[in-house]
Structures are given as C-alpha cells and as structure tokens.
Structure 1
C-alpha cells in the first residue's frame, strides 16, 4: 500500500468531516460543497480560483471514491504530495473564510452594507437643527386636513338631518 495514498485518504476524510459539519450532515461534506458551488455558479464571477477549486475538488473526490470503493485502488492510484497539500490548504481556507463560497458570501454582505437606508434631510439655520421627514415615495396625508374634512362632513350631515326632520 502506498503511504501517500493513505495520507491523501486521511486528509480527504478530515476535509469531508469539516464540510459535512458546515452543512449539518453526517457525511458527504465535499459533495455538498461541490453542489453548493454548482448552485452558486452565477455569483462566482470575479471570484479567484473558482474554476480551479471546483475542478480540483471534483477530481480529488473521484480519486477518493475510487480508493474507497475499488478493490486494489490504494495500490494502483498514485496521489501526489501536491494533492495532499492542496487538500490541506483548502481545509485552512475553509477554516479562515477564504474559500470561494465564503468569498461570494462576503461580496454579497459587502454589497448589502453599501446599500444605505435613506437619511433624514437635516439642515441648520443659526445653530438650530431642522429635520424634514423621510420621503419614501409615498404620498403622506396631513392628518389635520383629513380630520377637518371629516368634521365638515359630519356637520353638513347633521345640518341636513336637522333641516329634513325638524322642518
């Protein structure tokens, strides 16, 4: 049995456990991460190493599956130290939030932070602060005018009732 293959298998399992924990699964964490990348492909524009990460994860998952399910694969397949180093660096990228999916989530969060709510129109005249109400594009009714109109209608109706029934 090739020692590098065993180290690769153990390193992959460590990464798979971390990904499974992130997704609340008991196994298949790397597959869940790959599926998440597929689902967020459109948001990946401008994200460093997206394609390289996606393709490498798929290739390494395939190698791991062959080792786990094919007889004698540990002796036939030849993983490299580069594969193990890549898995370790991806593991630490996940732990520190530098993996591609974390990067697109950070970009989305940054975008929403930049969209600021409207601010009151505040101005000062001779050190006195005046604030105008926010205008959200809705028509605001002056409650005083509405109340006056209702009172006028009630008075007119009372006058009509008085005129009709008492005359």
Structure 2
C-alpha cells in the first residue's frame, strides 16, 4: 500500500498546476483562496458549499505545506478523504463547477445586461455623432425613419395646401354667388 501523503502530494501538485494556469502565476491554490476570500458575501452566500470549499482548500494547502517544508512523509498527515477531496475539486475546476466558476456564471447575466446598456448607449452616441437627426427624447433617429417622417410631413403639407386651395376656391365661389344674388335683388 502506497503512502497516502505521497498520493496526496501528487494530487495536490495537479491542483496547484491547474490553479497556476488559471492565474498565470506561481501561487495557484493560494491565489484561488485569495480570490474566494475577496468575493462579496452577497455573492458567495448564493453558492452552495462555498464556505466548506474555502475551509477545505485552506486545510489541504496547510497539509501540503507541512509535507513540503517539514518533509514529514513518515507521519500520516493526509487521509484518503483529503485525496478524494483534492481529486474531486480538480475535477470541478476542469468542468467549471467550482465555486469561482459558479460565481462567474452568476455574474455573467449582470455583466451582459450592463454590457447591453453600455453597448446601446455607445451605439447611440456613435450614431448621433455622425450628424444623425435627434428626436425629441434625445435619441438618434434612423435615417430611413427620418426620411419616412420627412415624406409624411411633406405629404401632409401638400394635403393641407390642396385643402387650403380648395377652401379658398369655395369661399370665392360663395362670395361670387352672394354678389350675384345681391345684384339680382337690387
């Protein structure tokens, strides 16, 4: 039977390496722990097992440090449960089921909404800076929409001109009829 400390140490090295890849640095698990500690309580309360994971990560890091610095592989510092936990946590990171991945997934909808709002305002700003007509609410108006509105106004004015002309002709006719009647009566 192989020493559990050696197996644990090898499994921990795999975990350390994947965390280093995540953080582009030398202290993988420590960076992961710091990231968890820096996460707002309002977020980590919504992630099941957050506190347990943080505590256990600190525990396995402590065991690893004892093994690495004290070279006490003769005394069983780790258990099969520790080995299984490190393997399981490594697997969670690989499949983005670890607490920080879950935090990221929770934050994405909020960031996407903020990005949509930002993109929308940026788009409006860039459109309006291209001398796009502005409507009364201050938003940019699409060129096609502006052209349609302009055509509708022109069409309305033409209708009004025709109606005005017809009204003028009608009034002139009434005046002429009244004058003719007055001339006939007198």
Place the TM-score, normalised by the shorter chain, in its bin.
0.5 to 0.7
**1: distance between equivalents of 2:138 and 2:29?**
46
Tell me how far 1:114 sits from its aligned partner.
5.0
**2: distance between equivalents of 1:111 and 1:136?**
26
Deviation track 1:98-154 (CA, whole Å, cap 9, x = no partner) reads 111111111110233356648xxxxxxxxxxxxxx69479xxxxxxxxxxxxxxxxx
Change (3 A) 1:75 1:100: same
**1: distance between equivalents of 2:48 and 2:137?**
41
Q: How does 1:88-127 map to 2 (within 5 A)?
A: 88-114=87-113, 117=117
Other structure's SS at 2:78 match: coil
Is contact 1:2–1:74 with CA below 8 Å preserved after alignment?
no
Is contact 2:4–2:76 with CA below 8 Å preserved after alignment?
no
Is contact 2:44–2:103 with CA below 8 Å preserved after alignment?
yes
**Residue ranges of structure 1 left out of the alignment (5+ in a row):** 119-132, 138-167
Aligned to 1:23: 23
Aligned to 2:31: 32
Deviation track 1:48-79 (CA, whole Å, cap 9, x = no partner) reads 110000000000000000000014x1111331
> What value does the CA root-mean-square deviation take over the aligned residues?
2.6
Tell me how far 1:3 sits from its aligned partner.
1.4
Aligned to 1:160: none
TM norm structure 2: 0.59
**2: distance between equivalents of 1:105 and 1:51?**
17
Other structure's SS at 2:73 match: helix
Q: How does 1:144-163 map to 2 (within 5 A)?
A: none
Aligned to 1:82: 81
Structure with higher Rg: it is 2
Tell me how far 1:4 sits from its aligned partner.
1.1
Tell me how far 1:82 sits from its aligned partner.
1.2
- What is the aligned length? 123
Higher fraction of helix: 2
Runs of 4 or more consecutive aligned structure 1 residues displaced over 2 Å after TM superposition: 111-118, 133-137
Other structure's SS at 1:60 match: helix
**Residue ranges of structure 2 left out of the alignment (5+ in a row):** 121-134, 140-186
